[in-house]
Structure 1
Amino acid sequence: MNLELLESFVQNYPEEFDGVLDCISVAVTCTFNRLGTLLAVGCNDGRIVFWDFLTRGIAKVISAHVHPVCCVSFNRRGYKLVSASIDNTVAIWDILTGECDQKYRFPSPILKVQFHPRDDGQFLVCPMRHAAVLVTVDGGHRIIPPEEEDNDLNIVASFDRRGDHIYTGNGRGKVLVLCSKTLENKASFKVTQGTTSVTAIKTIEFSRRGNSFLLNSADRIIRVYDSKTVLECGKDGDPEPLQRLQDLVNK
């Protein structure tokens, strides 16, 4: 008998889990450091909880914000953490001391914040209904230029694996690839659903190894692309996804 036919009704997710980390508050967001030994959890009460993932115990708790923490990101060496809250603030924390090194205030809520994968002096901020901002720790900043034709400010952005490029996606399905040093447009393409309609980009995530990245879009399809292929296609290219992941039953 065909094994796939026998297991056609088996669930496609694990029936057993490895364990539960009993957080002191409602967890909103979390991220691992580069080695996977430390887990930072942003909570609904504004605290950041650091878990030692080897012993599964709480290593430190920081009272970071007044309002819920919506995003956290480690730097490459793992001793700094940048956090964003719905109170429009972004803060950089020293994990060992628990002290705040820098705090920045933005005019709108923050959707995402991310440390540069190679340079601890830069981080990327995605404010709501505003172009992404590349911020340097010493106080300077540069606004990531959006697509001139679309003028859509529902923008998500992410560094690639090495931080050489910044990938941005907007509410009209347009993805731009910009050089992180010069902010020059290197490539672009549009994510379409079917032949005519376009779909909004919700999330851009890169793999820890390799050149793959995925786009989570409003049509509930996760598309996996190869970054080298996207760069080779250039501006207004039409790269083909490596994979399309979709739940055909309940979307």
Structure 2
Amino acid sequence: MQTPLLDPFGTKIPDVIEHTLEEGIALTSKFNRKGSLLATGCSDGKVVLWDFDTKSPATSLDKHTMAVLGLSWSRNGRKLLTWAADQTVVVFDVKKGKACFRKSLSCVAKACAIHPRNEHMLLVCPAALDPLLITIKPDPGNEGMCIQESEHVIPIMASAPEGVQTHLGPTACFSRRGERMYFGTSWGTVDVYDTATRTRIQSVQLQLQRNEEPFAPGEELLYLPSDPIVDTISAQEKADIERQQKEEERIASMYERRLKEVTALRGKLQHHAGRRQQLLRKKKKSGKRVKKKGASDAQPKTKKTKATTPTAAPAAEASTATTQ
């Protein structure tokens, strides 16, 4: 960008316009994981895939009859999930260039996402209903098509407080590995659900109402509030609640076990000390000298010898003196 264009009162346009979308008005766009393809949703219901290397349209996907509202790529880039204002959700096979799954809803979908590790698992959030966790599988009778295998309703609306309008519905996204689901509600909460059990782990109350909660490929959860400020919260702390609880329980059990061992050892030491004091008191009363065990064995025994009296020598000297 040029320096004069960084003026907040100026018009910010790119230096070079490489290509323009001539087939319609783009309402939404999203890159795949590698950045080689760019999907754009148009107002006439078309989804145009752009080859970012050649800067030219690669293919056009036609399945919607009204404006495309959102896009979601699979991790490997083979599937593309789209939802439009015609109350339909469509999964496209990018390589074949045709739709492999289509589902009609009773209202417009507000947000959808493909599981980052399983491209056959879809998360659909209708505007006025509870989110749906849909699992699809290949159709054995029709090659290249998929059918719905299961559908689970996640009761988000039941946790709404009284007097709050729930017609907007929640927005949702998966975590980086798909183990958690994050739902942002219109009453200002972010609910964390387990994907496998579909149970709520924690609900975080925020200050303002949140419109979208896209999940960045790291450990931060980016949310867009109703005000112009964009903020993030730590998703690692919210996602590892069960792990933290298990760690706390493990530490508590370890501490309790160590405390029992120390208490038992202290009781044994006190018992031995009390027994020794009793023995010492008994021996003192009986008048016996208390010796430490092994002390007599350590000292060598010596025999006592009688000392000779030096009286014999002076007597002999006296007798010799008298004879002389």
Q: Is TM-score (shorter-chain normalized) higher than 0.5? A: yes
Structure possessing the higher relative contact order (Cα contacts under 8 Å, 6 or more residues apart): 1
Q: Give the alignment of 1:14-25 within 5 angstroms.
A: 16-17=14-15, 19-23=17-21, 24-25=23-24
Residue 186 of structure 2 is aligned to residue 168 of structure 1: no
CA distance in 2, matches of 1:181, 1:135: 12
| Alpha-carbon RMSD | 2.3
Paired amino acid for 1:175? V
Q: Which residue of 2 aligns with 1:205?
A: 214
1:84 Cα offset (Å)? 0.8
Q: Which residue of 2 aligns with 1:159?
A: 174
Paired amino acid for 1:205? P
Q: Which residue of 2 aligns with 1:63?
A: 62
Determine which of 155, 160, 179 is the counterpart of 1:150. Answer: 160
Q: Which residue of 2 aligns with 1:185?
A: 200
Kindly tell me: are residues 20 and 141 of structure 1, through their superposed partners in 2, closer, same or farther at Cα, counting changes over 3 Å? Answer: farther
Q: Which residue of 2 aligns with 1:101?
A: 100
- Is the 2:49–2:57 Cα contact (8 Å) retained in structure 1? yes
Higher strand share: 1
Q: Which residue of 2 aligns with 1:49?
A: 48
Query: CA offsets, 1:27-50, max 9 Å, x none?
Result: 011111110110001111111100
Kindly tell me: are residues 60 and 232 of structure 1, through their superposed partners in 2, closer, same or farther at Cα, counting changes over 3 Å? Answer: closer
Higher helix share: 2
Determine which of 213, 217, 238 is the counterpart of 2:225. Answer: 217
- Is the 2:120–2:135 Cα contact (8 Å) retained in structure 1? yes
* Structure 1 stretches of at least 4 aligned residues deviating more than 6 Å after TM superposition: 12-15
Unaligned runs of 5+ in 2: 1-5, 138-147, 243-324
Q: Which residue of 2 aligns with 1:134?
A: 133
Q: Secondary structure at the match of 2:212?
A: strand
Aligned length, in residue pairs: 220
- Is the 2:37–2:49 Cα contact (8 Å) retained in structure 1? yes
CA distance in 1, matches of 2:173, 2:18: 29
Residue 96 of structure 2 is aligned to residue 81 of structure 1: no
Task: Point out the more displaced range, 152-161 or 127-136.
Answer: 152-161
CA distance in 2, matches of 1:164, 1:146: 18
- Higher radius of gyration, 1 or 2: 2
Task: Calculate percent identity across the aligned residue pairs.
Answer: 27
Kindly tell me: are residues 232 and 135 of structure 1, through their superposed partners in 2, closer, same or farther at Cα, counting changes over 3 Å? Answer: closer
Unaligned runs of 5+ in 1: 1-8, 193-198, 235-251
- Is the 2:183–2:191 Cα contact (8 Å) retained in structure 1? yes
CA distance in 1, matches of 2:30, 2:56: 16
Q: With the length of structure 2 as denominator, give the TM-score of the two structures.
A: 0.63
Q: Secondary structure at the match of 1:228?
A: helix
1:16 Cα offset (Å)? 3.7
- Is the 2:44–2:66 Cα contact (8 Å) retained in structure 1? yes
- Is the 2:201–2:241 Cα contact (8 Å) retained in structure 1? no
1:217 Cα offset (Å)? 1.2
